[in-house]
Structure 1
């Protein structure tokens, strides 16, 4: 490691490993003639990153100048690095990782299958901004058909009038407080996201309750809370609202967990039978 924090050998080894794992077709290049070694050639990485071949070779051989942040960003794009890999690249190069551009809205196939397999439990997926991305069939009884319309859960929550009776419930107020604290954490992670900034500005102007919580500057990821819901169709329900974080996408899988043998569990079972018939 140098005095600047650059770990040349580790940076070189990491770049070589990421280069050899990629196929030309993955980055829009023709496969061409048969290759003696797997992955991209050095000149192809240099071409994709917009730098000279000699400069890239020197970095991959652990010599040459300290790569700039612009060079690192170009290499991250060229090598199709994930968010974690990009952060690692910057750190071994002695630089602070750049902020992510915005909350991920991509729903992986694995998460879609997981949601569909949870036939007895309402569950839905939101991004770090609390935009609703996907949900299972039981979730529609709680978030409506919006699982396909992609509403925003924070806007929905603070769109209720300040005099709404639901605000008298301490669990509702605690749920709102933790949601705003989680949103502020995302606000700090994505300083360049226009949609997130515009939503916060909008809510500050239309919701005094949101403005009051935002002014407290609490920063925290969501924790599970017990919710008591007077559902207009299903009657009184009580369940734990469990928030499961999806680190690679910075998303939240929100699951309504009823206690075993409880009346709420029985309601969930009846709903499951209704939607499956």
Structure 2
């Protein structure tokens, strides 16, 4: 159980809720609010626990909450299913993964990559390390095989290639950084002892303000589809959708790049000739 992370997560989710979003709380005009969001006593009342007990949770001084208490607090804070799972892991009510070694790629998953043909795609593990890719992805993004293993990571690549491959679309790149932080937040709850993951988070947070802000906010809401702009040396600027699909029975995710049908980017992708 990570009391500090649990406390921080609860506090940030409480502060993100507006009183007018929650039935039964005092309207803003009844008493001046010195802090954003709901008060601790309001969350406690909604969850059916004492104010002192909830305060101890937010102060990282409380005992391990029961599944029933977590469910009630999750309802009070209007958490999504993904946030509820994350809350359970932080509170030590969900099994932790202990295997932090690089995942192996099933043969059928690698075969799927190559069957996608001209569609750029690669496989990543929970640390966002790129474990396998097809020729179209290597042609679109970079020659992954020529990189040291530690550099085959989507976040490290996004920063290293920012001046040559990514356009100046700050909004799109900021959203990618925020989504990456959300994914790694969930991974850190499953692998709290993964030192390599901690080093990666510290490295990227020092380089990306968007990533650092999302990490501090405990944003764990997944967004399986993101818009990205890439500047390819031969195809020019491309506007693509980056789709992420979880491979059943594994911790691996398939990332594919597609373009809107009939768009200039789709026509450019069709001219992509994998090496």
Q: TM-score, normalised by structure 1?
A: 0.57
CA distances 1:37-63 after superposition (whole Å, capped 9, x unpaired): xxxxxxxxxxxxxxxxxxxxxxxxxxx
Question: If you compute each CA radius of gyration, which structure gives the higher value, 1 or 2?
Answer: 1
Kept in 1: contact 2:166–2:231 (CA 8 A): no
Q: Which residue of 1 aligns with 2:137?
A: 139
The equivalent of 2:178 in structure 1 is: 177
Contact (CA 8 Å) 1:123, 1:138: kept in 2 or not?
yes
Change (3 A) 1:97 1:185: closer
Could you say if the C-alpha distance between residues 124 and 196 of structure 1 is closer, same or farther in structure 2, counting changes exceeding 3 Å? same
How far the C-alpha of 1:210 sits from its partner, in A, is: 2.9
| Matching residue of 1:203 | 204
Give the C-alpha shift of residue 246 in structure 1.
Answer: 1.6
**How far apart in 2 are the matches of 1:160 and 1:120?**
22
Q: Which residue of 2 aligns with 1:231?
A: 232
CA displacement, residues 96-142 of structure 1 (integer Å, 9 cap, x when unaligned): 63434226521111111111111121111111101111111110123
Alpha-carbon distance in 1 for matches of 2:258, 2:223 = 16
SS in 1 for 2:272: helix
Shift of the 125–147 alpha-carbon distance from structure 1 to 2, 3 Å rule, reads: farther
Structure 1 partner of 2:43:
none
**Following the alignment from structure 1 to structure 2, what is the Cα–Cα distance between the partners of residues 167 and 264?**
17
Distance in structure 2 (CA, Å) of the matches to 1:148 and 1:140: 10
CA contact (8 A) 2:126 2:184 kept: yes
Query: Matches of 1:138 and 1:161 in 2, distance apart?
Result: 20
2:246 match: 245
- Give the direction of change, closer, same or farther, for the CA distance of 1:231–1:198 in structure 2 (3 Å limit): same
**Larger RCO, structure (CA 8 Å, separation 6 or more):** 2
Paired position in structure 2 for 1:122: 120
Change (3 A) 1:169 1:134: same
**What RMSD, in angstroms, separates the aligned Cα atoms of the two structures?**
2.8
Q: Residues 1-277 of structure 1 correspond to what in structure 2 (within 5 A)?
A: 97-102=95-100, 104-147=102-145, 149=147, 150=149, 151-158=152-159, 166=167, 168-272=169-273, 275=275
Equivalent residues of 2:166, 2:229 under 8 A apart: no
Give structure 2 stretches of 5+ with no counterpart.
Answer: 1-92
Question: Secondary structure at the residue paired with 1:185?
Answer: helix
Does the 8 Å contact 2:174/2:210 carry over to 1? no
What is the deviation of 1:148?
6.0
**Stretch of structure 1 that moved more, 244-253 or 200-209:** 200-209
Q: 1:209 and 1:190 mapped to 2: Cα distance?
A: 23
CA–CA distance in 1 between the matches of 2:179 and 2:230? 18
